[in-house]
Amino acid sequence: MKLLFTGAAAWCNSGYGKPWRSLFPALAKLGHEIALAAFYGYQGAVTTTSVGSAKVTIYGTAQQPYFNDIIEYHAASFKADAVISFQDVWILDAWGKRDFKWYPWVPIDHQPVGEAVTRAIENCTAPIAMSKFGQRELQEHGWPDAHYIPIAIDTGLYRPVSQMMARQATGLPQEEFIAGMVAANSSSPSRKSLGEVLQAWRRWKDDGEGGRLYLHCTLSPNRRVAGKRGGEDLPPMLETLGLEWATVDDPDEEQRARADVLFPSQYRMWTNTYGDEALMNLYNSFNVLLSPSMGEGFGIPIVEAQACGVPVVTLNVTSMPELTFAGQCLEPVQMFWEGQGGWRGVAGVQDVLGALQWAWEMSRGPKARQYMKERARIGAARYDVGQVVRDYWVPFLEGLNV
């Protein structure tokens, strides 16, 4: 079968690019031909490259950044049996009326699913949800045949390693409690709850507790949407909270030692050069991953961290409860109405503080740490690429009427 996906290029270290590195070789091994229309990370003539062991045809954009003007031609050029879009759908222009079979693999990160999404996928062949939550939402809002295929990770890459060695690799301090986030700074207010976590960390320090908070994100908004800021300007926020900060590559050693909050190399963030191995070491450096997002279409870092044996703190909304195998899933203190027509949760600052206390106490007990590591790893194994392809992709592709 000839499958044309859309998403970021496979060499991009983003949630819309990384999954291809393990998925494409697995699908190619089953005999499928793969093409990718890359909305980020590639701009140029049609070419063929290797993604692992898979031979992949790469298509770029034309005048419109998300293929609204050219997707039909890409599908015809490749003679695609199915077009599987891996991106937000509300920016797509009537793809369901185009001359190809379209399966939008869509993130649902608010409840209900929202008119912007249901309108965008009108006339599609059938949608694919990334989470069981998303599948239920689609089924309840006009798509009883909605499929479910979770995003897969490579649990051979994302694995537990020595915390001491991981911290040496990342430049994070040894012998300290480290709470970390891996979260794009791309929305304002922050969908990832950066503000709530920073307020909780301020209270943590006020209580006399030690350790560092590490935020794997850009210090300033990492994109602009329709001329508006797509993220938070974090230095003023940190200043008002009285939190000192530094990057891990700051040449001022004293500043790094004083910092309450650490950030990655900003050059590497902007050039997108933190790869899988670097992230694996980063997760293994943490005592806990904080991810109490307002909503998640899936939540790749949540699964990656647990594959590394690290417990997580999430929020009991959208996909996150089904991905929290080891850790705490906090109740939202209230719901927030999002512009696309659905509700998202708001994390309580005091609840995040309580989760930090839990994580700190758990990190001090060898038996508790080992128990959490085992639970995390067992849960994440269900999302390994081999199992996801076998349990979800194979029956889905066999069932396509092409």
The CATH number of residue 372's host domain is: 3.40.50.2000
Question: H-type helices in 292-381, by residue range?
Answer: 300-307, 320-323, 349-363, 366-381
pLDDT of residue 223: 64
What are 244-268's pLDDT values in tens digits? 999 999 999 999 999 999 999 999 9
* Domain assignment present for 158: no
Task: Specify whether 235 is located in the same domain as 363.
Answer: yes
Say yes or no: 217 and 107 in one domain: no
Q: What is the pLDDT of residue 257?
A: 95
176 shares its domain with 85 = no
Q: Are both 176 and 254 inside the same structural domain?
A: yes
Tell me which residue range forms the domain holding 169.
163-381
The β-bridge partners of 148 are 129
For the stretch 56-111, pLDDT in tens is: 999 999 999 999 999 999 999 999 999 999 999 999 999 999 999 999 999 999 99
121 & 169 share domain? no
- At residue 307, the pLDDT reads 98
CA distance 298 to 313: 15
Flag whether 112 is in a domain. Answer: yes
**Do the domain assignments include residue 130?**
yes
Beta carbons of 243 and 201 less than 8 angstroms apart: yes
Q: Are residues 90 and 78 in the same domain?
A: yes
| Residues 132 and 236 reside in one and the same domain | no
What is the pLDDT tens value at each position of the chain, 402 positions in all?
Answer: 999 999 999 999 999 999 999 999 999 999 999 999 999 999 999 999 999 999 999 999 999 999 999 999 999 999 999 999 999 999 999 999 999 999 999 999 999 998 899 999 999 999 999 999 999 999 999 999 999 999 999 999 999 999 999 999 999 999 999 999 999 999 999 999 999 999 999 999 999 999 999 999 999 997 654 455 689 999 999 999 999 999 999 999 999 999 999 999 999 999 999 999 999 999 999 999 999 999 999 999 999 999 999 999 999 999 999 999 999 999 999 999 987 789 999 999 999 999 999 999 999 999 999 999 999 999 999 999 999 999 999 999 999 865
Residues 341 and 391 placed together within one structural domain of the fold: no
> Do residue 21 and residue 169 come from a single domain?
no
CATH value at residue 40: 3.40.50.11930
Backbone angles phi, psi at 31, to 5 degrees: 105, 5
Q: So what's the pLDDT on residue 340?
A: 75
- Do the beta carbons of residue 340 and residue 116 sit within 8 Å? yes
pLDDT at 401: 63
- Do 173 and 285 fall within a single domain? yes
Domain presence at residue 157 = no
In order of 48, 85, 162, the CA distances from 285 in angstroms are 37, 34, 9
Same domain, 304 and 365: yes
3-state SS assignment for residue 41: coil
Query: 194-206 and 234-241 helices cross at what angle (nearest 10)?
Result: 30
